[in-house]
Amino acid sequence: MDNRQANINRFEAEMAKVTRDGVDKLMAFIRKSDMYAAPASTRFHLSVTGGLLQHSLNVLDALRANLTKNDDGTYSYEVAGVPAARVTEENVIIMALLHDICKTYFYTTEIRNRKVDGKWEQYEAFAVDDKIPYGHGEKSVMMIEEYMKLQPVERYAIRWHMGYTEADTLSFNNAIDKYPMIWALHSADTQASHFMEANEGNKLAYADNGSAEYADQPTLQEATAPVFEEATPV
């Protein structure tokens, strides 16, 4: 993706707002992993290098837009105008940007054949090669907490962000009752993948979405510059 470096800069600046113990170790893992290079999917949305990074930022934009910002800097998730949950800016960043960290060490590339104008040609495509087979939302929670402790609202929202695609609908329903932010994150994830994203990039209306949202926040230079080394899968 042409804007991948800008997306890296923004991801780094947003995560620089997180001050929790262990975030430095988590960021070191992210920089060494394929988080900034992986696709978001093999063929459904943002199936391109850097797609996972773009998707994570899209979910952050969608989630912020779905919340009401309060005078004290917190955010409220409202249902019919009534607050159902209140979270901090840090909660929002963590839930959105890290919900799909489970997709690191998940994809590979392979050579396939296709017929174009009556002639066969080879092309490179993404395929699944899950090096950490531990589920989806639960794997994201596990990977984050190898380095940084999550708060309950973050843990539950990330664990259940796939919504009713989960087989255990009883537990999912019970979890929503305890933590309505699960539905807020699930909705933002769905909005991003269905409305904001095409296969090879954001749809035109969202092409520059959020690019200036962190202008008054720490820049990449003020944070620790990314070091791209190979990390060991959790």
- Buried b / exposed e over 190-209, threshold 16 CB at 10 Å, is ebbbeebbeeebbeeebeeb
For 117-131, how does the pLDDT look when each residue is reduced to its tens digit (9 = 90+)? 888 887 777 888 888
Per-residue pLDDT, averaged over 189-213, amounts to: 84
Which residues neighbour 148 within 8 Å (Cβ) at sequence distance 6 or greater? 20, 21, 22, 23, 25, 26
Q: Specify the residue for token string 């664990």.
A: 159
Question: Closest by alpha carbon to 34, among 20, 61, 53?
Answer: 53
Answer yes or no: are the C-beta atoms of 187 and 70 closer than 8 Å: no
Angle at which helices 4-15 and 89-98 pack, to 10 degrees?
A: 140
Residue 27 and residue 11 in contact, taking contact as beta carbons nearer than 8 Å: no
Residue 170 and residue 26: Cα distance in Å, rounded? 32
Q: What is the pLDDT of residues 81-103, one digit of tens each?
A: 999 999 999 999 999 999 999 99
* pLDDT at residue 152 tops 90: yes
- How far, in Å, CA of 85 to CA of 82, rounded? 9
Residue 66, pLDDT > 60, answer yes
Rounded CA gap, 12 and 224, in Å? 8
- Cα–Cα nearest to 16, from 216, 218, 154: 218
Cα-to-chain-centroid distance, residue 15: 12
Q: Give the mean model confidence (pLDDT) for residues 119-147.
A: 89
Using 50, 70 and 90 to split pLDDT, how confident is the model at 200? confident
Higher confidence at residue 223 or residue 169?
Answer: 169
Q: Which of 7-11, 50-54, 105-109, 212-216 has the weakest average pLDDT? A: 212-216
3 state SS of 231: coil
* pLDDT at residue 213, rounded to an integer: 52
